[in-house]
Amino acid sequence: GIDMMITHEGGKGDFSYSVSGQLTYTRASWIHFEEEAYDTEAEKRVYQRSGNWINRSVGYVSDGLFMSQQEIENHPIDQDQNGNQTLIPGDIKYVDINGDNVITWEDQQEIGYNTGSPELNYGFNFMGKYKNFSLSLLLQGGSMFAGNVSGLARLPFNNASTPFTLHWENRFHPEKNPGGTLPIATAGVRQNNNRFSDFWLKNISYLRIENVRFSYNIPQFIPGIEFMQVYFAANNLYDFSNLGIYAGSFDPEAGLSHNNYPPNRTLTLGLSLNF
């Protein structure tokens, strides 16, 4: 891994500033893990740890959605191991990795990072002052980790879940929304759509405006008040991320589960006095 910080300070006349950037990167792999000898390529691809990154996720590779019943009937791959009789339009389609025309555990492969903390963290801090004005800005971000859209966050029609409008806006419907990117809306979990796959696993990168503070020191004009400052502060002002339709519903640092609150923004206008 690597950890580094760069700071620069300067100014001219009544203006002064300080700028700093920070970056931390750490990643680990299994050089050797005491495990059984795997006989097949599928076993090595799915289970082997030696020689692989610790933070990898293994699952199924998705290939869009089934758009019609005819597509399901003509599909050459037995996806449910029941002649595809349990599939309906709007279900997730999976890639047959090993080419045997049947979807089994052997069709899994590395699909992204593991869920948890970012392995790449970065930040930027700025502080500037001009006469009685001052501005501070803190940006913070992370990358090289993943979030799994899990639990009731995958489904609409659940009181125990946050009522995400994205379910309605993006669900597949053969007539009303044939271009939908989420599976067809059902009241319960469909086994086919609940596989651990890259359809739900999202590799995350984000940059957050963590804190902004702008202040003005009011010249002393009231007897007995030594210091007076008016300020505006914003916490968690905005996130730039690659979460797509999930960006407004989930905090990238908190995970993509139904019981995690979306990002909260705090705006403060205040007056500070010293007597």
Task: Determine the pLDDT at residue 5.
Answer: 94
**Mean pLDDT for the chain?**
90
Lowest mean pLDDT among 15-19, 204-208, 262-266, 270-274: 262-266
Residue 203's closest CA among 242, 240, 239?
242
Residue 252's closest CA among 239, 268, 238?
239
What would the two tokens of residue 6 be?
Answer: 């760069």
User: Counting every residue, how long is the chain?
Assistant: 275
What is the percent of the chain where pLDDT is above 90? 60
Task: Determine the pLDDT at residue 155.
Answer: 80
Distances (CA, A) of 47 to 11, 74, 94: 57, 33, 20
Cα angle 140, 145, 151; round to 5: 110
What is the percent of the chain where pLDDT is above 70? 97
Task: Determine the pLDDT at residue 160.
Answer: 64
- Position with higher pLDDT, 163 vs 2: 2
The dihedral sign for the CA sequence 16, 17, 18, 19: negative
The reported pTM is 0.84
List pLDDT tens digits, range 186-227. Answer: 877 789 999 999 999 999 999 999 999 999 998 887 777 778
pLDDT grade for 73, boundaries at 50, 70 and 90: very high
User: How many Å apart are CA 108 and CA 60, to the nearest integer?
Assistant: 5
**Pair 18, 138: CB distance under 8 Å:** no
**Pair 126, 18: CB distance under 8 Å:** yes
**Pair 94, 106: CB distance under 8 Å:** no
What would the two tokens of residue 182 be?
Answer: 């989420």
Q: What's the average model confidence in pLDDT over 215-241?
A: 87
Task: Determine the pLDDT at residue 274.
Answer: 81
- Which residues partner with 186 through β-bridges? none
**Pair 157, 151: CB distance under 8 Å:** no
